[in-house]
Amino acid sequence: MTVKDTQAMIAGMTPIIVPGDWVFCAVSGTGTIPPDAFAVIQEAEGTTLILPEETAKADGYQSSAVMQLITLQVNSDLEGVGLTAAVATALAKQNIPCNVVAGYHHDHIFVPKTQAGIAYATLLDVQNAAH
């Protein structure tokens, strides 16, 4: 069952840190996509791959800084309003950049690896405040 109510989404977000190091890579063309890619995003300027850092290095991709993935366990409705804003606002107050990728079932937050612990604690605080 999906959750659409803003307060319920925030109260139920239950963040988890997903093991592994992730990077964003900009590639041109439509070559072979590594099977362990987290996401493939097509943009007018080219394709973005979100890959495990080791895959990006092994395949010779230039990449972003190393990111940590935090997945929100709430099964948020795609038409739900406010979850992304609450997460981004809380992290911005801590000066933590975030890149949000929404899947059908969950929202996935990529933050700099060096700030993942603070980001995780911040999201737990936001969740607890929503109860």
Q: Which domains does the chain have, with CATH numbers?
A: 6-129 (3.30.2130.10)
Report residue 15 as tokens: 């963040």
Helix then strand count (H, E) for the chain reads: 4, 6
pTM: 0.94
- When comparing pLDDT for 71 and 2, which is higher? 71
pLDDT for the residue 106? 96
Q: Provide the pLDDT for residue 30.
A: 65
Could you read off the pLDDT of 24-81 as tens digits, one per residue?
999 887 678 899 999 999 988 889 999 999 999 999 998 989 999 999 999 998 999 9
Angle, vertex CA 108, rays to CA 91 and CA 96, nearest 5: 20
Q: Compute the Cα dihedral for 80, 52, 117, 17 and give only its sign.
A: positive
Q: Has residue 21 got a pLDDT over 80?
A: yes
User: What pLDDT was estimated at residue 32?
Assistant: 81
Note the pLDDT tens digit of each residue in 77-120. Answer: 899 999 999 999 999 999 999 999 999 999 999 999 999 999 99
Top pLDDT among 77 and 19 is at 19
Predicted pLDDT at 87: 98
Amino acid at 25: C
